[in-house]
Amino acid sequence: MTSRILRDARRYEEVHGSLVKEEERPAFHLSPYVGWTNDPNGFSFYDGHYHLFYQYYPFSPLGGPKYWGHAVSSDLLHWEYLPAALAPDTAYDQDGCFSGSALSLPDGRHLLMYTGVRAERGSGGEVLLRQVQCLAAGDGEEYEKYEGNPVITGDILPEGFSRIDFRDPKIWRGSDGVYRCVIGNRGPDDSGQILLFVSEDGFHWDYKKVLTANHNRLGKMWECPDFFVLDGHGVLLTSPEEMLPEGLEYHNGNGTICLIGDYEEKTDTFTEKHHQSVDYGIDFYAMQTTLTPDGRRVMIGWMQNWNTCHIREGNRPWFGQMSLPRELFIKEGRLYQRPIRELEELRHGKVEYENVDVGQKTVLKSVSGRMVDMELTLRPGNTDDIYKKFAVYVAADHRYRTEVCFRPGENEIKIDRKFSGSRKTVVHQRRAAVDGADGRLKLRIILDRFSMEIFVNDGEKVLSLTMYTDQSADGIEFCSEGSVKMDVVKYDL
């Protein structure tokens, strides 16, 4: 039965969502039908389509109590909006249906697992968001909350584990047929830990263990965990709050991490061997993965950062967008990402240049646009005297530009959106280490109206950011200090 609260949201989105013009949205990145979005949720392949749900508040682009928005796609790039799937309409989730995940049940139903939130008063009168785990099952459009909800509460947690920071279940079925889920939690040392729960049927859950813990190393609370086996390695993705930077590896505030190690399913033992950021840009958080029918592990994130949400000007009909879906793989023990191969189907209008001598300001005919897939291959013009700096400006006009800058001598790539329309005192730059001392570097830059994602050296590092400038700022310019030779392959998308 559809509740009044869900019906009202659906009515609102029907009226107001259809008013948003296509050209006011990203073309192939999912944005909310109307209003606010943050995390991607329930990313899954079900009944012949990819389903992507999203943290949603249809009534305002500034956010509010969370619903689940819903869209489906057959190629992960063209999305069809479906009516909102979940609303905060029950006693255990009346203050929000927080993030969660999905899978297909053997009986053909689609199972959603999410965090229900209810505000309570603490002993000092403060508001505490009590978090419990809930289920809803459905047919890909209509979902019924499970009568046994909540299925996991803080009551089964060991002493000292938080009942307040206990959220974002990611559910999967192991090769042994056992249902498992990982949930972010705050442990007795006040920092994040990832808890593992097991179930025979997906509905009745037991607490198993702490799969891995932060111990105050990498930020504080760990949100939105995901766990899977990739190329023979156990991989845990999570989004820490309150990070401190470590060299160029992490940055202050909300960040993303990937722990890579060994995983033994029989005992559910994960032994961490390496950690790194997932995305080195400004706007990327709360990522989640799914397995495609042809066996690719594809990740999608919220292309935004809680601390910089307010750089978008004015009261627009929507706020927040998802990243490009990215195929993940492990190479030499590190996480690599490449844009999903389906993107190549959108390419048209190929323009190619070889051996361009990059000057102080180089503009190339037909190399411009805000929906672009562009590959740049750089090498030094003179190997005895490697250039100092190479930069490309995108989304540029007389006033605006978004900059990517590479300095081989410092083995560093930098993005800068100071001139990308922000009127706020917030961070506009991010740097990442790249191995390019010989002046050779490959960049693949994807633009989609309000965003830029850069894949460095075939996916070794990725940097994402959003920019909300006028679409008329569509210039692309190159410049160098020293001699740079550049090949360009550019497509419109």
Q: Is 168 in the site for ligand FRU (CB under 6 A)?
A: yes
Closer to ligand FRU by Cβ: residue 99 or 337: 99
Q: How far is the CB of 159 from ligand FRU (least distance, A)?
A: 23
**What is the chain's Cα-based Rg?**
23
Nearer to ligand FRU, 95 or 448 (CB): 95
Residues between 216 and 235 that touch ligand FRU (CB under 6 A): 223-224
Helix (H) or strand (E) holding 13: helix 4-17
CB of 98 to ligand FRU, least distance (A): 3
Total number of residues shown for the chain: 493
CA 152 to chain centre: 26
Which residue's CB is nearer to ligand FRU, number 236 or number 367?
Answer: 236
Catalytic: 438? no
Local structure of residue 152 (DSSP, 8 states): B
Nearest-angstrom CA–CA distance, 231 and 328? 10
How many residues of this chain interact with ligand FRU, rule: CB under 6 A? 13
Question: Measuring CA to CA, which residue among 128, 427, 465, 454 is closest to residue 307?
Answer: 427
Shortest Cβ 115–ligand FRU spacing (Å):
6
Minimum CB distance to ligand FRU smaller for 139 or for 190: 190
Instruction: Confirm or reject binding of residue 170 to ligand FRU (CB under 6 A).
Output: no
Q: What is the DSSP string of 83-129?
A: EEEE-S-SGGGTT-EEEEEEEE-TTS-EEEEEEEEEEEE-TTS-EEE
Per-residue binding string, ligand FRU, 15-54, x by CB under 6 A, is -----------------------xx---------------
Q: Residue from 31, 99, 149, 162 that binds ligand FRU (CB under 6 A)?
A: 99
Report if residue 98 touches ligand FRU, rule: CB under 6 A: yes
* Active-site residue (options: 8, 39, 155, 384): 39
The CA distance from 173 to 337, in Å, is 24
Q: By CB under 6 A, name the one of 29, 167, 170, 431 that touches ligand FRU.
A: 167
CA distances from 361 to 56, 98, 366, 408 (A): 43, 48, 16, 19
Taking CA atoms, 65 is separated from 38, 55, 88, in Å, by: 12, 9, 7
Structure tokens at 151: 């299925």
Output the smallest distance, CB 384 to ligand FRU, in A.
Answer: 49
Instruction: Give the residue numbers marked as catalytic.
Output: 39
> Where does this chain bind ligand FRU (CB under 6 A)?
38-39, 55, 66, 98-99, 115, 167-168, 223-224, 285-286
